Every structure is written in structure tokens, then in C-alpha cells.
Amino acid sequence: MFAFFAGLAAGLLHVFSGPDHLAAVAPLAVGSDRNHWRTGMQWGVGHTAGVLLIATLLLFLKEKLPLDAISAYSERIVGLSLIAIGCWGAWKATRTVVTTHSHGSASFAMGTIHGLAGSSHLFGVLPALAFSARVDSVLYLGGFGIGAIAGMSAFAAGMGLLLARPGSNHPRRYRGVLYASSAAALVIGGFWLVGR
């Protein structure tokens, strides 16, 4: 059980220590329907899928897998995706009519891309490979996935609560939160492209 709880803690830490994770989900959560937490859950499921894909490839291909190349390309895709989400959120905030709907597939795709990028390997895959018993590796990865899903669901629900406060359904407040989260996505996406 130690492996599971270690993975759970690592998954939660991984979600909240990555500003790119929060910047990817915030515009989608703000622009979603009343079930904001689902946007975070779908990101977490996608992220877990990406981490499990890398873990599976590492287990079977070990030395043959060009992990550095995969990580480098994934980080560039993360940067471009963040910029795209930031542009989309800014465009949506300029619309005269405030509309919300589900962004499940976009959130899942963003999570998967993040799961394939660099730091996921550090927190999700490498510790799992360090366990001597395969069952402990599986428990760690399961805990990591549950932690990532729970953490991002909680963050997206918090974004929903921010908009659910009295007077928050005013279009100006909604647009302000959407502009702010979109600006964060643009800045962090630019950093991922230029600063890494």
C-alpha cells in the first residue's frame, strides 16, 4: 500500500506544481458548463493515459525508446497547445454573448499531451520503474493517476466555484476570469516554446 499512497501524493503534487497544467485547464473550465469538475477529470484521465503509455513503452522497450526526443517534441506541442487555448479563451471572452458548453475532448487531449511531456516521466514513470515488485509499480502508477485526476478535478471545480459566487454570473466577471486564465495560458505556452 505504500506504493499506492506514494503515487497518490506524487500525482497530486505533480498537478499543482505545474503552472502549465493549471493554465491548460483554467480557460476550459471557465468556459465549460456547470459541471466544471468534469473538465479537470477529463484532463486527469488524459494525463494518466499519456503517463501509462510512456510507462508501458519503457517497460517493454527500455533502452530502445528515444525518451528525450519524445519529451522534447511533447513539450513543444504543450507550448503550442497552451497558446492555442489562450487564443481561444481570449477570442471567446470578446464575444458579446456568454455561452458555455463542455470541452471534454479538448481537455482529454491536453492532458494526454501533458502526460507525454517531460516532468511526467520524473514523477509518474521513473519511480514506478524503481520498485522491485511489478505489483508495486502498478500500484504506484494507479495512485499517481488517481491523484492527478482528483487534483485536477478539484482545481476545475474551484474555478467553477469562483464563477458561482454571488454576482459572478455577470458577463463582465466571467470575461475577466476568462481573459486572466487565457493570458496565463499564453504566457506559459510561450515560455514552454522559448524558455525550455
Q: Which residue has the cell 497558446?
A: 83
pLDDT tens figures, 25-80: 877 777 655 677 888 899 889 988 988 887 777 777 766 767 677 667 777 777 78
Tell me, what's the pLDDT at 103?
58
pLDDT tens figures, 75-96: 777 778 878 888 877 887 777 5
The predicted model scores a pTM of: 0.73
Tell me, what's the pLDDT at 4?
93
Question: What's the burial of 160, exposed, middle or buried (CB within 10 Å: 0-12/13-18/19+)?
Answer: buried
In angstroms, what CA-CA distances link 145 with 9, 32, 178?
10, 23, 28
Give the residue among 21, 182, 30, 189 at the shortest CA–CA distance from 112: 21
pLDDT tens figures, 113-172: 877 776 566 667 778 878 888 899 889 989 999 998 999 899 888 887 776 655 545 567
Residue 97 has pLDDT above 90, yes or no: no
b (16+ CB within 10 A) / e for 62-100: eeeeebeebbeebbebbbebbbebbebbbebbeeeeeee
Tell me, what's the pLDDT at 165?
53
Tell me, what's the pLDDT at 65?
64
Tell me, what's the pLDDT at 196?
59
